[in-house]
A = this chain, B = another copy of it.
Amino acid sequence: MAQWTSAIGASQLARLLAPQRAAGSAGGPGGTRRVPAYRALADGVRLLVLEGRIPVATRLPAERELAAALAVSRTTVAAAYESLRADGFLASRRGAGSWTALPAGNPLPSGGLEPLPPEAAGTMIDLGCAALPAPEPWLTRAFQGALADLPPYAHTHGDYPAGLPALRQALADRYTARGVPTMPEQIMITTGAMGAVAAIRGLFVPRGERVAVEHPSYANVLQLLREAGARLVPVAMGEGLSGWDLPAWRRVLRDAAPRMAYVIADYHNPTGALADEEQRRELVAAARAAGTVLVADETMSGLDLDAVPGERPPRPVAAFDPGGSTVVTVGSASKAIWAGLRIGWVRAAPETIRSLVAARVYADLGSPVLEQLAVAWLLTGGGGSGGENGWDRAMAVRRERARENREALVEAVRRHLPDWEFTVPRGGLTLWVRTGGLSGSRIAEAGERLGVRVPSGPRFGVDGAFEGYVRLPFTVSGPVATEAATRLAAAARLVLTGRSAGADTPRSFVA
């Protein structure tokens, strides 16, 4: 990288470093050895870069400013920067400052919840990405069905900025059946749920404006919003699975009047909480009163792992928005069918969809046609039997798989990491785990070296919160879950004994 493209201020960097610094100075169980201050600082920055919490090509503050913000000497900062440069984590040029970099040959691809390439799966257990294998045979059958439907589309230019009419209709019908009357004009097909959130952000949130988010929330969306210049306003989730603190939400929406709020009411990522209908109703009412667009991400919808026969899930958030102008819904086939499809969608008022479609040509133009046909095939009865369509049958396979994985994970963590705490959610794909006082960032780094990839808590937080957490997904089965827990336990021991991060420094975390 020849130059920097964004910058981080001294006070912001100090805030990101604070939890780690607290951990270092507090000592903790392994905190008997001391490391030079410059080394601790370099380690801290390196962790933030490796985790993608400081993007590559970000200019760091001038030495003098950072020294002031951290209340250390300028020599300490200069030595830390020099050490980072020597390791390839920093590049500098006279007059242009210093900016973050990734050293060549670094085994970490870095970034947010970036999945490990499956070809590396032989050596690394990837718990970074909460996505399951495809629910075969439904994926292959859906593609075969799609291929049979392709010929008339192959005669066109193939660009459908709003999505294929057949899929927009099928999704509208599905919303209508779930209690939210919907027309095809209210649906736009996107490139996954991330493409949907990016488009909505672009329409509603100018740079520098506020967006309210659950705290914790989905790491990649938090980062997407940050990179788009949004100011995140975190609203704490309740303990365990209690979820949405309505008085806090009402207060934040009233006082901060954010342009947009982003919520995952259906098996929240990462905590697994499920909003009941009363919470949904009140969230929508509070957003409407504040003039805030409420984005409801339904990616995990349908992953009811403990539903008993006849139990009805809560109605969609949009069902509590009769005017139709407050709630914008985001959906995806990634969790329901397969992330390799890259099909998501937005449901909103027709005028909002029109504006989103108009803006789309400057982003990705459209979504892949065959994938759209495959999803439409599943939704409109392909692969169905006994009153269920192929989508529902594929979802049933997914739920069964996720349920088994969840049991295996919970048992393995309880056995190998008895002091890690969590509440088992009734659905979704993630377990939000308190790591017994150890730093989640250090565990993530040690895990990388021991063959298990986990995302640390701060990725799901604002300004370094949740240092004492990791997120574990329901994506691996019995023996792999056991091996993963074993490796995590080894990583925890490394952190506890201060031998993580390649430096002689204590790594316990005291919140």
Contacts and interface: CB of A to CB of B under 8 A. Distances in A.
Interface of A: 1-6, 52, 55-57, 101-102, 104, 106, 109-115, 117-119, 121, 126, 129, 131-134, 136, 139-140, 143-144, 147, 150-151, 153-162, 165, 191-192, 194-195, 198, 202-207, 220, 223-224, 227, 229, 259, 291, 293, 325, 334, 338-342, 350-352, 354-355, 357-371, 475
B140 A351 contact: no
B156 A133 contact: yes
A50 B360 CA distance: 15
A48 to B, nearest CB: 13
A361 B156 contact: no
Contacts of A109: 161-162, 354, 357-358
A131 B157 contact: yes
Given A220-B365, A342-B366, 8 more contacts: A1-B351, A3-B291, A56-B203, A56-B354, A109-B357, A147-B147, A194-B362, A340-B366
Contacts of A359: 55-56, 111
A342 B364 contact: yes
In terms of DSSP, what is the predominant structure of the interface of chain A?
Answer: loop
A368 B365 contact: no
A27 to B, nearest CB: 33
A313 to B, nearest CB: 25
A101 to B, nearest CB: 8
A162 B156 CA distance: 29
Contacts of A207: 207, 229
A217 to B, nearest CB: 14
A358 B114 CA distance: 7
Nearest to A158: B340
Contacts of A154: 133-134, 136, 139-140, 338, 340
Contact of A363 (B52, B144, B224, B325): B224
Nearest to A160: B117
A2 B291 contact: yes
Given A133-B154, A339-B158, A366-B342, A2 B293 contact: yes
Contacts of A134: 154-155, 158
A370 B56 contact: no
A353 B154 CA distance: 32
